[in-house]
Amino acid sequence: VIARLPCPAVSNAVGIGLLGVGTVGSAIAAQLHERAAAIGLRTGVTPRVVAAAVRDVSKPRPTLPSGVRVVDDPMAVVRDRDVRVVVELMGGIEPARSAILSALAAGKPVVTGNKELIAAHGPELFAAADAAGVDLLFEAAVAGGIPIIRPLRESLAGERIEAVMGIVNGTTNFILTKMTEDAADYGTVLAEAQSLGYAEADPTADVGGHDAASKAAILASIAFGVHVPVAEVTREGIESISAQNVADAKRLGFVIKLLAIAERTDERVAVRVHPSMVPITHPLASVRGAFNAVFVEGADVGQLMFYGRGAGGGPTASAVLGDVIDASVNLTKGTHAALGAFAPAALTPLSECSSAFCLAIEVNDRPGVLAAVAKVFGDHGVSIRSMEQEGMADAARIVFVTHRAKEAAVRVCLDDLGRLDAVRSIASVIRVVGVQ
Ligand code: NAP
Ligand code: HSE
């Protein structure tokens, strides 16, 4: 049997204006160039880079085809008459925001991978795209090459989503994996992640959890159809995760992951990013290196898992490419994807969220101390799931894992523990997921 591939009679050339030719921009330029003919045959549009903006025009850009106009002014690319779709891959808020608003106002669809911008200015940008009747697509903004925005927005549009939880930052997952498996030094691994093109221009966005918080805000907004301001996302990074924490987790049968969690709590939504201890038997525990994974739990569909490369030029450009093709096809048809309406979110404060906790406490090693510590837990209704103690001369380090408890109760418990004479320090507090 010989199957005939679809072969549109005419392929429309669509001029692409590329804002940024860095890790992702150079990869999308290469993919568009290599696959132009195949894309044209399959979809009826042939997107072609015609102009690009960079900061340093003197730097060689080997993946840009010859003839592409390279300038240092993003607005000049937006205004270029041959540019019909704008692809923003500069990152940051300005000049990306102004360039995108100008493109939309001029009726030019926009594709971006800029999670920081979408999380901070989503409603303004979505309104501008709606008013102009053109696409604003941002699949690459969350979890790199993994299709997650389109499935949430389209395939699951009618589903009642209960929770979205995932590993959405490749850099931190790469660092935590190396710390766990190779006992690697934090600084060396971070430099390696940067050289591999995973890290943001300012890597504190990764290790501080800001990048994951932007993605959590976007995921929560799309999944629950509400606007979740990134400033309202509870955020903790991995900077304070020590080799000791990694070793404790390993000994207790867990691995440490930076998780983004968005969940429905009654009719409100709780959104947070923090390091979490995950049982080694949990599917998220096996997500290693720069890979990402997003779990979606829906009332009818049950559990879904999306897994793949969450960072790096090639995988991210693959997501950008899908959006470029969609935007180009829609443009030629005079249509655009619906973003949906986003009501302001009613958010659950962190104090009302529940999870299990792993608490490491350093105490004086003398009779009665363990009983005094345990009493504080009991007084605040925080139930202990497991406990182990390690002696260190006249001191001891006690590691507790609690059952699920309200954040507020654990905070008061920690305050009271800190006031006990026998407690030298609260060495670490890490939330534990996947246990009751
Ligand atoms: P990058 O390597 O730092 O590249 C940024 C590009 O933008 C460079 O070509 C830079 O020019 C250009 N640029 C920056 N500011 C500019 C300005 N004011 N005017 C003109 N050009 C400007 O960044 P990237 O890693 O490709 O990331 C791009 C976007 O994709 C960001 O929003 C990022 O969050 C997002 N993203 C990245 C990844 C990833 O794995 N890297 C994954 C998902 C999403 P020069 O080359 O001259 O410096
Ligand atoms: N810096 C990001 C990460 C790139 O490490 O996941 C992908 O958004």
Q: Among all residues, which ones are annotated catalytic?
A: 215
The residue contributing the CA closest to ligand 1 atom 12 is: 20
Q: How far does residue 196's CA lie from ligand 2's centre (Å)?
A: 11
How far apart CA 396 and CA 111 sit, in angstroms, is 55
- Can you say how many angstroms the Cα of residue 392 is from the centroid of all Cα atoms in its chain? 40
**More confident site: 8 or 351:** 351
How far apart CA 332 and CA 272 sit, in angstroms, is 40
- Does the structure show a pLDDT above 60 at 9? no
Q: According to the model, what pLDDT value does residue 391 have?
A: 80
Q: How far does residue 309's CA lie from ligand 2's centre (Å)?
A: 10
Give 381-412 pLDDT, tens digit per residue. Answer: 999 999 999 887 789 999 999 999 999 999 99
Q: How far does residue 382's CA lie from ligand 2's centre (Å)?
A: 36
Mean pLDDT of 99-119: 98
- Does the structure show a pLDDT above 90 at 8? no
- For 209, counting Cβ atoms within 10 Å of its Cβ (0-12 exposed, 13-18 middle, 19+ buried), the class is buried
Residue 58: Cβ within 10 Å count: 7
The residue to which tokens 């559990």 are assigned = 303
- Does the structure show a pLDDT above 80 at 6? no
Instruction: Find the helix or strand (DSSP H, E) in which 170 lies.
Output: helix 170-182
Q: DSSP labels for 375-417?
A: HHHHHTTPPEEEEEEEEETTEEEEEEEE-SEEHHHHHHHHHHH
Identify whether 283 is preceded by a cis peptide bond (ω within 30 of 0). no
| Exposure string for 220-250, b = 16+ CB within 10 A, e = fewer | bbbbbbbbbbbebbbbbbbeebeeebbebbe
Q: 209, 271 in Cβ contact below 8 A?
A: no
Q: According to the model, what pLDDT value does residue 343 have?
A: 84
Q: According to the model, what pLDDT value does residue 372 have?
A: 95
Q: What ligand is nearest to the CA atom of residue 193?
A: 2
Lowest mean pLDDT across 45-49, 99-103, 247-251, 262-266: 262-266
The CB of 139 under 6 Å from ligand 2? The reply is: no
Residue 265's DSSP bridge partners are 268
- Does the structure show a pLDDT above 60 at 155? yes
The CB of 90 under 6 Å from ligand 1? The reply is: yes
**More confident site: 108 or 4:** 108
The residue contributing the CA closest to ligand 1 atom 36 is: 113
**Candidate of 89, 115, 291 to mutate for ligand 1, largest count of ligand atoms within 8 Å of Cβ:** 89
Q: 257, 335 in Cβ contact below 8 A?
A: no
Q: What ligand is nearest to the CA atom of residue 204?
A: 2
Q: According to the model, what pLDDT value does residue 5 have?
A: 58
Q: According to the model, what pLDDT value does residue 340 have?
A: 75
Mean pLDDT of 213-226: 96
The CB of 103 under 6 Å from ligand 2? The reply is: no
User: Of the candidates 341, 321, 340, 319, which has an alpha carbon nearest to the alpha carbon of residue 85?
Assistant: 321
Q: What percent of the chain has pLDDT over 70?
A: 98
- For 196, counting Cβ atoms within 10 Å of its Cβ (0-12 exposed, 13-18 middle, 19+ buried), the class is middle
Q: What percent of the chain has pLDDT over 90?
A: 90
Mean pLDDT of 247-272: 95
Q: According to the model, what pLDDT value does residue 184 have?
A: 85
The residue contributing the CA closest to ligand 2 atom 1 is: 199
Token code pair at residue 216: 């959590």
- Does the structure show a pLDDT above 80 at 270? yes
Give 319-373 pLDDT, tens digit per residue. Answer: 999 999 999 999 999 999 987 778 888 999 999 999 999 999 999 999 999 999 9
The CB of 433 under 6 Å from ligand 1? The reply is: no
Q: How confident is the model at residue 434 (pLDDT cuts 50, 70, 90)?
A: confident
- Does the structure show a pLDDT above 90 at 162? yes
Q: According to the model, what pLDDT value does residue 288 have?
A: 96
Q: DSSP labels for 185-215?
A: -HHHHHHHHHHTT-S-SSTHHHHTSHHHHHH
Q: How confident is the model at residue 201 (pLDDT cuts 50, 70, 90)?
A: confident
Lowest mean pLDDT across 81-85, 170-174, 198-202: 198-202
Q: According to the model, what pLDDT value does residue 106 have?
A: 98
The answer, as to whether pTM is greater than 0.85, is yes
| Average pLDDT score over the chain | 94
